[in-house]
Amino acid sequence: MYLNHISIQSFRAHALTTYSPEKSINIIYGKNGSGKTNILEAIHYAMLTKSFLTVSDQETLRFNDPFFEIKASFKRQDQFQSSVRVYYSPSEGKHVFVNKTRLETFSEIVGDYPCVSLSPYDISITQGSPQERRRFLDNSLSQTSKAYLKDLLNYKRSLLQRNRLLSEVKHTGKFRPELHSFTEVLATISSRIIHQRLTFCETFRAHLLDSYAQFSNLSELPDLTYECGLSLSKGEDTESIEKKIQARFSTIQTDEIRRGTTLFGPHRDDLEFRINEMSLKKFASQGQHKTFVVCLKIAQHLYMQEMLGDKPIFLLDDVFSELDYERSGELINFLEKGIGGQTFITTTERKRFPNVNQVHITDLLVEG
Ligand SMILES: Nc1ncnc2c1ncn2[C@@H]1O[C@H](COP(=O)(O)OP(=O)(O)O)[C@@H](O)[C@H]1O
Ligand SMILES: [Mg+2]
């Protein structure tokens, strides 16, 4: 799958911008603040209905304009595949159309336009709170498994209901017997989510090693472990995980009622990243964090390729500022020969990579 054409109207700094990229690597260069990241955000909107940065639709609407519209067409093996239109106005909200049919829920599109993004803010995946790492896990899994996405959405709904009930029990001081069935439902979905996350980590590990291997002078061995607070053996099945979760819930029930909230489950889990057996979060240098995040995203790309049999579109915002000159060259080499697929890279200056398509941002602006 690749992006064949995109038009971006009244989005961020763009009054009207049109772009017909190449199927392979595309470098967009231009000075700071010229709207390069905005273009990657618009592409992400067309694929996943939102930006890769945590911003509201309202913030991405061009100042003083009444609505924005992003129109994209995608191809697969040079055949027209589909068109996506994203429309937003403050009064009407956001509407997304695939081949002119309006989506009922935005989650419907997840997985149909596989996409991996990397931005300087992603350093929060290794340095930030567990929530950032769960977001990374959920993003990788949701885009490759509709079943996982369904479980995840279901989980969020059930968790909210159970928390509401626990809070009520806490405040009224009256036990509600339906708590048991709420707990059972949550334990069942949790066991599936935990099982899928564990399986993900097993498969992902090899891709992470592969991406590290692309960079010379990196004698570091990366690794990751899923931490869910249960002692599980390798390959443990869903039923057995579910039993352990139920046992945990019965030991913490009094606590949960006292606190009025769910104290155990996938919404509190974490990933531990390591290099050479040492915790990245605790011991790694800034440079090691940056390298890890770049490799993590490359590994996500490889993982998604393996699961989907299709190459995701790779959005690399300012990646060269994360890597030194030698590693930048190695990355381009790997993107061309190993990863493949369509890639967008933003950078401030034109680069000396002979075979790579490079476009100056001002050549894309129809109205500035
Ligand atoms: N909603 C908006 N309306 C108009 N301009 C915006 C909006 N959001 C951001 N901008 C502008 O977009 C520019 C940033 O564009 P960006 O794509 O981040 O630049 P860069 O080329 O450095 O990646 C800034 O000048 C900023 O003021
Ligand atoms: Mg930028």
Indicate the pLDDT class of residue 299, thresholds 50, 70 and 90: very high
Q: Indicate the pLDDT class of residue 324, thresholds 50, 70 and 90.
A: confident
Nearest ligand to residue 15 Cα: 1
When pLDDT is averaged across residues 19-42 and rounded to a whole number, the result is: 97
The predicted structure's pLDDT at residue 125: 98
Nearest CA to ligand 1 atom 25: 33
The CA 338 to ligand 2 mean position distance, Å, reads 26
Ligand 1 atom closest to the Cα of residue 34 is: 21
Task: Say yes or no: CB of residue 33 within 6 Å of ligand 1.
Answer: yes
pLDDT value for 216: 80
Rounded to the nearest angstrom, the distance between the alpha carbon of 127 and the centre of ligand 2 is 21
Burial class (CB in 10 A: 0-12, 13-18, 19+), 63: exposed
pLDDT score for 217: 78
For residue 368, pLDDT over 80 is answered with no
Per the DSSP assignment, residues forming a β-bridge with 9 are 16, 69
Q: Give the right CATH number for 120-308 from 1.20.1050.90, 1.20.140.10, 3.20.20.70, 3.30.420.10.
A: 1.20.1050.90
Q: Supply the DSSP string of 212-258, one letter for each residue.
A: HHTSTT----EEEEEE-SS---TT--HHHHHHHHHHHHHHHHHHHHH
Whether residue 153 has pLDDT greater than 80:
yes
Ligand 1 center from residue 188 Cα (angstroms):
45
**What mean pLDDT is predicted for residues 316-325?**
91
Band of pLDDT at residue 330, cut at 50, 70 and 90: very high
Q: Give every CB contact of residue 277 below 8 A, 6+ residues apart in sequence.
A: 221, 223
Pocket test for ligand 1, best of 9, 12, 27 (most atoms within 8 A of CB): 12
Residue 178 pLDDT > 80, yes or no?
yes
Cα(20)–Cα(261) distance, integer angstroms: 50
Phi, psi of 145 (to 5 degrees): -145, 110
- Tell me how far apart the alpha carbons of residues 338 and 131 are, in angstroms, rounded to a whole number: 31
- Which ligand sits nearest to residue 33's alpha carbon? 1
> What secondary structure, in 3-state letters, does 89-134 show?
ECCCEEEEEECCEECCCHHHHCCCCCEEEECHHHHHHHHCCHHHHH
pLDDT for 209: 96
pLDDT of residue 234: 87
Q: Which pLDDT belongs to residue 162?
A: 97
In the reported structure, the alpha carbon of residue 278 is separated from the centroid of ligand 2 by a whole-number distance in angstroms of 32
* pLDDT tens digits, one per residue of 353-366: 888 999 999 999 99
Give the H/E segment covering residue 358.
strand 357-360
Strands 343-347, 313-317: pairing kind:
parallel
Residue-level pLDDT at 63: 97
pLDDT exceeds 90 at position 97: yes
What is the C-alpha separation between 17 and 43, in angstroms, rounded? 12
**Alpha helices per DSSP H over the chain:** 36-48, 57-60, 123-127, 130-144, 146-172, 179-213, 238-259, 280-283, 286-308, 325-334
Minimal-distance CA residue to ligand 1 atom 3 = 62
Q: Averaged over 200-224, what is the pLDDT? A: 93
Backbone dihedral region of 115: left (phi > 0), alpha (psi from -120 to 50 degrees) or beta?
Answer: beta
Distance 67 CA to ligand 2 centre (A): 23
Q: Residue written as tokens 């239109």?
A: 85
What pLDDT score does 277 carry?
94
The secondary structure of residue 273, as a DSSP letter, is: E
Could you give the C-alpha distances from 171 to 164, 166, 182, 255, in angstroms and in order? 11, 9, 18, 14
User: pLDDT-based confidence at 322, cuts 50/70/90?
Assistant: confident
Terminal Cα-to-Cα distance of the chain (whole angstroms): 30
Q: Is the CB of 32 under 6 A from ligand 1?
A: yes
What does the pLDDT look like over 222-270, one tens digit per residue? 999 999 999 998 889 999 999 999 999 999 999 999 999 999 999 999 9
Residue 265 · residue 246 · CB < 8 Å: no
Q: Indicate whether residue 61 lines ligand 1 (CB < 6 A).
A: yes
Going by alpha carbons, the residue nearest to atom 18 of ligand 1 is: 37
Q: Which amino acid is at 366?
A: V
Average pLDDT estimate for 301-317: 97
- Mean pLDDT (the chain, rounded): 95
Helix axes 146-172, 130-144, angle to 10 degrees: 140
Query: Model confidence at 154, in pLDDT bands (50, 70, 90)?
Result: very high
Q: Is 37 in the pocket of ligand 1 (CB under 6 A)?
A: yes
Whole-number Å distance, alpha carbon 35 to ligand 2 midpoint, is 7
pLDDT at residue 358 in the model: 95
Closest CA to 192 of 232, 241, 230: 241
For the question of whether the overall pTM of this predicted structure is more than 0.85, the answer is yes
Q: What's the CATH class of domain 1-114+310-368? A: alpha beta
Cα 350 to ligand 2 centroid, rounded to whole Å = 15
Q: Which ligand is nearest to the CA of 28?
A: 1
Domains of the chain, by residue range, sit at 1-114+310-368, 120-308
pLDDT at 201: 96
Q: Which phi and psi angles does 250 have, rounded to 5°?
A: -70, -30
